[in-house]
Each structure stands twice: as C-alpha cells, then as structure tokens.
C-alpha cells in the first residue's frame, strides 16, 4: 500500500524542527512551534511550525492534538492538509484553561498523521442498506 509513498519536508524557517516520532512505531510525527508564543485563555491562535510538506495523491495529513497538552486544556482545531497544499503547516490552537500558557521554540504542539484516503465519487441511492447489526442506531447504541 505504501510503495508509492514519500514525505518531503522543507524547513524554511531558521528555527524549524524536523517532525519526528517520539517512539519508533508511533502513528504521529510531532510538530513543533518555531516561535515563542503565548496562548491566552479562550483565544485561538495560529502556531507556526516553519515547515512545508509534500506527499503523493491519495494521502492526507491530519493534524491532531497531543494527549499531554490536551490534558492541560490545549485544543487543536482543523487539521486536514491535502496533497496539493504547499504552504506552511500551521496549527490552530486554543487555550481552554484559565491561565496563559507559554509555548517555547521547539516545543511539541501537535502531531501529524499521514493516512491513505478514498478518492472515489459518492453514489446517490434511493435508500442505503440498513441490514446490519447496528442498523441506524447511533450515539450510545453500543453501550458507551
């Protein structure tokens, strides 16, 4: 499946940090901020990574929160990067805590997952097949 895969990274900011996995085999590559930034409570900011990425069609980069920061109230929004985007990888961040949070240069702010995507076309039908175990039961239907 990944025989055609490549991930090219351009570090265009002098303080940019190469994305890397904390532990070999981790799903996500850690993204770091390239500038010292203060996150004031309940405000969205755009954190700069100083990197640009390039990868093949039929893949997507997803930017997600890191669990340790999420536990401290740092929320990541957005985060879908299509294969043709060549601008800076930016991270939309919100501080949900009641105190300012300082992000230091080189600090991990998010993680980026590279995933294969379905690029087919949706088909309109009169009715979808509901002959499944769950049928149309949604929220809470599995007991969680």
Numbers of helices and strands, H then E, in the chain = 1, 10
Exposure pattern of 118-132 as b/e (b: 16+ CB <10 Å)? eeeeeeeeeeeeeee
Give the pLDDT confidence score for residue 51 in this predicted structure. 98
End-to-end CA distance of the chain: 33
CA angle 69, 75, 78 (to 5 degrees): 130
Query: Domain spans of the chain?
Result: 8-116
Question: Has residue 1 got a pLDDT over 70?
Answer: no
Q: Which residue has the higher pLDDT, 16 or 143?
A: 16
Tokens of residue 84, six digits: 């043709």
pLDDT in tens, 63-94: 999 988 888 899 999 899 999 999 999 999 99
Q: Which CATH architecture has domain 8-116?
A: Distorted Sandwich (2.70)
Among the listed residues 100, 87, 90, 112, the one whose alpha carbon sits nearest the alpha carbon of residue 38: 100
Per-residue pLDDT reduced to its tens digit, 90-131: 999 999 999 999 999 999 999 999 999 999 999 999 999 988
Look at residue 58 and tell me whether its pLDDT is greater than 60: yes
């Amino acid at each position: 499946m990944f025989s055609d895969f490549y991930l090219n990274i351009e570090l265009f900011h002098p303080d940019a940090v190469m994305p890397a996995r904390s532990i070999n085999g981790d799903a996500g590559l850690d993204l770091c901020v390239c500038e010292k930034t203060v996150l004031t409570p309940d405000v969205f900011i755009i954190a700069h990574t100083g990197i640009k990425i390039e990868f093949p069609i039929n893949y997507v980069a997803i930017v997600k929160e890191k669990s340790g920061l999420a536990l401290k109230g740092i929320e990541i929004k957005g985060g879908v990067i299509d294969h043709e985007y060549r601008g800076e990888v930016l991270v939309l961040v919100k501080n949900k805590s009641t105190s300012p949070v300082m992000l230091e240069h080189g600090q991990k702010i998010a993680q980026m997952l590279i995933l294969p995507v379905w690029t087919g076309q949706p088909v309109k039908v009169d009715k979808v097949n509901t002959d499944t175990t769950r049928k149309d039961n949604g929220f809470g239907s599995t007991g969680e």
